[in-house]
């Protein structure tokens, strides 16, 4: 090996002169990998698939449901009776309803306020059926009486809690 060094430094052409001009081996059983596939081997990957989604879901804040006092529940019931009478007379009032929607994946939920016209007060099913005028789709939204926290509108605003 000493004969292949020039001074104190080695020259790769001299050291590997016996193999440097040999052809590169190509496997007969494994085809040559494309540059795209070779690059994919070194691409970053998510070792914990779904972990980021789980962290984001855990960080998402939900509201806790507030229990409504009986006096407030009575006023809401009176407002529903007024609206029901108006519907019987052919008037479909436009009101603003605030209600609680439970979260499907964790404890709590959120309060939503909708401004729609009421199609029907279903006292048997204990729900309000709205005439859907905003958003996508024509399916009428229903709201359970138990989830309602407030109803406002010209027809019912004189009733106070």
The domains of the chain are located at 1-161
d(CA 33, CA 41): 11
Q: Which residue has the higher pLDDT, 6 or 129?
A: 129
Mean pLDDT of the chain: 86
**Nearest-angstrom CA–CA distance, 139 and 83:** 21
In sequence order, the β-bridge partners of residue 113 are 98
Residues 120-140 have a mean pLDDT of 81
pLDDT tens, 41-87? 888 777 778 888 889 988 888 899 989 899 999 999 999 999 999 99
Question: How do the residues of the chain divide into helix, strand and coil, expressed in percent and rounded to 5?
Answer: 25, 25, 45
Q: What is the mean pLDDT of residues 109-135?
A: 89
């Amino acid at each position: 090996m000493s004969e292949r060094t020039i001074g104190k430094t080695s020259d790769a052409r001299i050291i590997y002169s016996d193999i440097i001009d040999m052809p590169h081996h190509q496997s007969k059983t494994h085809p040559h990998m494309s540059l795209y596939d070779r690059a994919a081997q070194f691409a970053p990957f998510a070792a914990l698939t779904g972990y980021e989604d789980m962290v984001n879901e855990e960080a998402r804040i939900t509201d806790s449901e507030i229990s409504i006092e009986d006096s407030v529940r009575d006023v809401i019931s009176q407002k529903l009776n007024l609206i029901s009478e108006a519907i019987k007379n052919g008037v479909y009032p436009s009101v603003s309803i605030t209600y609680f929607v439970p979260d499907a994946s964790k404890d709590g939920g959120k309060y939503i306020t909708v401004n729609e016209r009421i199609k029907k007060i279903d006292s048997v099913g204990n729900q309000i059926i709205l005439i859907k005028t905003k958003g996508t789709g024509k399916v009428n939204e229903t709201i359970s009486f138990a989830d309602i926290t407030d109803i406002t509108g010209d027809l019912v605003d004189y009733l106070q809690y």
